[in-house]
Chain A
Amino acid sequence: MMLQAMKGAACALALTLSTTIMTAPASAEFPERPIGVAVSYGAGGATDFQARIVTMVAGNKDMLGQPIYIVNKPGAGGRVGWNWFASEAPKDGYMMSAYNVPHFIAQSIKGSVKYSADSFEPIANWGADPAVVVVGKDSKFNTIQELVEFAKANPGKLTLSGAGLFVGHHIAALQLQKATGTKMAYIPTKGGGAAAMKAVIAGNVLAGVNNLSDAYRALKAGNVKVLGVADLERNTEFLPDVPTLKEAGYDVDNSSVNFRGLMVPKGTPQDVIDKLAATVPKMFGHARVAKRMKAGGSPIKIMSREEVQKMWKERQTYLDELLKGL
């Protein structure tokens, strides 16, 4: 009895405190407390950084009305975080996760994880970061053709760094090898895109596959040359002069583009999903978010729940095919 009363008092206290702090109206419907977003990569990585920006206006009255906080669960190229999310996260909408496609789909095809594309329900997509091929600023390669020629003449000798196995970078490397009929030495690094970029700049490897956003920054800092973009169209905003791999004559499409967005676990109530799917894209499209994302060199691509569902399906089919032989 007393504990009940204490609980009531404590709840009342917590409620008044939270409402005064967060200026949100105390509504009876979802969400009535802050929402978490689990990021499967470490603090400071591209996914973490962008997730923090795109969720910054969540607390506004016309958005979710509750702030979003970030929880980092890094490890094993994202497997740790998504495993946790698929098996242990609460299914009430109060814990979302940032997805990276093609990463989690490719990992689920390779097995030994507790998730697949069917374990999650997409909410909306916020960004698309194509993979690019980079070399150090003093490298002897000036075009993607020269790089491919070298790889043809020296099978297995072209070292190519990337952020891990079965992530977008790896897919792009696999596609490039398949399209050119070459064999390259793909070197997965620990510590994400930043570590892979360091290997290129320091000359530990001959070339690298990296995120467009990180490569753009390294290019501005005068450390690298960007040889090609693994996308269907050139990126007119950040790298208008860099050709796509397709333009260069290699059959590489946009399957390696790193799509980032939010999802919830399967089993979350439909009305919660609907509410999130209706509000979250608006949140991503906020002017302040756009300004910060552009300033950081991060390409935005907002997609609705339906569009993401379609994109996930396409990737699943393509990756099943590509990874079959491995």
Chain B
Amino acid sequence: MEFLQYFGGVFEPIALLLLVGGTIGGLILGATPGLSPTMAVALLIPFTFHLSPTHGLILLGAAYTSTVAGGAVSAILLKIPGAPANIATALDGNAMARNGDGTRALQLSFLASGVGGIIGVLLLIFLTPVLAQWALAFGPSHLFWLAILGVTVIGSLDSRSFVKGLLSGCIGLWISMIGYDDVQGAERFIFSDALTGGVSIIPALIGLFAIPQVMEMFSKGREAAAIEQVRVSNYPISRSMVELFQSWRALSIGTVLGSIVGLIPGVGGQIAGLVAYDQTRKMSPHKAKFGTGHSEGVIAAESANNAMVGPSLVPLLTLSIPGSPTAAVLLGGLLIHGIFPGSDLFDNHPQVAWTFINSMLLGQVLMVIFGIYTAVWAARIAQVPPSVMASAVLILAIFGSYSVQLSMGDVYIMLVLGVGMFFLERFGFSAAPLVLGLILGPIAEANFIQGNLIANAQNGPLEYFCTGTLNIFLIVLVVASIAYSFWSNMLENRSAAAARKKQELAQ
């Protein structure tokens, strides 16, 4: 209960001002295409030079929580995921917005973010010592299996065809290997100069999701008749709240998976949303509705990726190991003030540590409040004519992918991937598994290589990768996940075949 003692610090005038400023700023930065939470926090570091350590951290804490949630805004309204965390949100969220349910989607996404986020921070407050051990339990072999487990999700993710889902994943894995290999520095699959730097994740994300949607709008042509008028309904916030708690299944799966996955250094943040989305779909009675604008998808994805925020800081705050790129940037923010995370932080600067954690807690609440206001825009966005929408998304996609590394090469990659994806989608391939392959490929490879090197110094790869409780547990999960996908795919095929036969008989 030590944290309550320091709660007063958050309510000092300057602290409160920074908290509000950080939250609003974070929402705007998070919603800007191309600006991941990591970049947003890095941009804010110079502002903390002039602040006291406590105040600086309040700003960074508030900004971190709200950039993650802010990414949902562009994911839902424009189908441009701000960061890997928001991919799953875009799947159903954007479909909802196009059905005229944008307000509801945004309200639900912020409420779910808030619930997940608060639980995540509470875990950080109460269970830090226990969680720290758990975060360290994952060595290269476990991370390798974990990445493979993530890959097995591919077959069932947002795809109408099992084999094409897996193939999309393979294409993603291949794209992730383009460029210099990370360990040896060897050139791989570089067939154009723009590819020497490899395919970075943010431009790829923007291209794969935003460009096919722009082309979809082009494909409607210019006849007024082809452009459907969307009826936009205003949605009272109280109804969203009721709906959130009725979807308790999605909310709890998202929160639990988000906090568990968020803890694992190096993997967590990027895939928490996708894994939660997939699990919720598998366990939902309304499986078929996912991908067409189903609110459970948004709730699961957003609760998961905000639940991950708190636990992802556990390795940083207790062991001084940044578990994610954003945590690494936050570490820098602490260091410039001469504060070293680890036992030093909680023993010698409890004021700083607890005020920071409290600011994240309060930041979640403020984020929900301000976020709800953005829902008002959502009503309008569905009524923007496609010709404006298409040009706006295109320009935003180009600016967003350029600004990540100030590189024209990234813009070329973005456009080429996007146009390619549009044609692949016309044949049943899909972007979500492709992106998952793109994210997990490097993680799987790095840990595979590293594990192999360690194993060769010990008793060989077989023992290193396949013995030990955690390894076996993960392998069982991998096998179960593949078996489940096969089985449900067979069932679906059979019922589809039966339906077709019936149709043929009726004719």
Which positions in A face B, CB cutoff 8 Å?
Answer: 36, 42-45, 48-49, 52-53, 56, 70-73, 75-77, 79-80, 83-84, 107, 110, 112-113, 156-159, 164-166, 185, 187-191, 194-195, 197-199, 201-205, 217-218, 220-223, 292, 294-297
Contact = CB atoms under 8 A, between A and B. Distances in A.
Nearest to A187: B453
Given A80-B197, A110-B185, A221 B38 contact: no
Contact of B335 (A76, A83, A110, A295): A295
A221 B317 CA distance: 10
Contact of A190 (B49, B182, B197, B453): B182
B42 A73 contact: no
Contact of A295 (B38, B136, B137, B338): B338
Nearest to B458: A157
B332 A48 contact: yes
A190 B136 CA distance: 17
A187 B450 contact: yes
A217 B342 contact: yes
Given A43-B38, A52-B46, A75 B179 contact: yes
Contacts, number: 163
Interface stretch (B154-162, B237-245, B318-326): B318-326
A292 B325 contact: no
B457 A190 contact: no
Given A73-B405, A75-B182, A198-B265, A217 B320 contact: yes
B167 interface: no
Contacts of B129: none
A201 B185 CA distance: 26
A204 B454 contact: yes
Contact of B328 (A45, A189, A217): A45
Contacts of A199: 139-140
Contacts of A203: 136
B344 A44 contact: no
B46 A223 contact: no
B322 A44 contact: yes
Contacts of A189: 446, 450
A45 B335 CA distance: 12
Given A44-B42, A187-B453, A221 B343 contact: yes
Contacts of A72: 405
A185 B197 CA distance: 29
B322 A194 contact: yes
B325 A44 contact: yes
A166 B456 CA distance: 21
B464 to A, nearest CB: 10
11 contacts: A42-B328, A44-B329, A49-B336, A72-B405, A84-B407, A164-B183, A185-B456, A201-B321, A292-B49, A295-B338, A296-B338
Contacts of B137: 202
Nearest to A214: B320
Given A49-B332, A157-B458, A42 B325 contact: yes
Interface in B178-200: 179-187, 196-198, 200
Contact of B266 (A45, A157, A195, A296): A195
B196 A83 contact: yes
Given A157-B458, A292-B336, A185 B453 contact: yes
B88 to A, nearest CB: 24
A223 B185 contact: no
Interface residues of B, number: 59
Given A195-B266, A198-B321, A43 B42 contact: yes
B342 A220 contact: yes
Given A49-B332, A187-B454, A204-B454, A223 B179 contact: no
B455 to A, nearest CB: 10
A211 to B, nearest CB: 13
**10 A-B pairs with the lowest CB-CB distances in the bound complex, closest first:** A44-B328, A221-B342, A295-B338, A76-B180, A185-B457, A296-B335, A190-B446, A49-B332, A44-B329, A202-B136
A222 B347 CA distance: 12
Contacts of B340: 217, 220-221, 297
A80 B180 contact: yes
Contacts of B454: 159, 185, 187, 204-205
Contact of A204 (B46, B140, B187, B319): B140
A43 B39 contact: yes
B269 interface: no
A49 B336 CA distance: 9
A215 B179 CA distance: 31
A53 B343 contact: no
Contacts of A166: 185
Contacts of B336: 49, 53, 292, 295-296
B46 A56 contact: yes
A79 B266 contact: no
Contacts of A191: 266, 446
A84 B197 contact: yes
Contacts of B49: 56, 292
Nearest to B403: A71
B341 interface: yes
A297 B335 contact: yes
Given A185-B454, A187-B450, A80 B198 contact: yes
Interface in B428-458: 442, 446, 450, 453-454, 456-458
B442 A190 contact: yes
**Most chain B CB inside 10 Å of its own CB: which residue of A43, A45, A73:** A43
Given A75-B180, A187-B454, 5 more contacts: A44-B330, A76-B179, A194-B322, A202-B138, A220-B344
Contact of B185 (A42, A53, A77, A292): A77
A75 B319 contact: no
Interface in B242-270: 265-266
Contact of A43 (B315, B328, B407): B328
A217 B334 CA distance: 12
Nearest to B49: A56
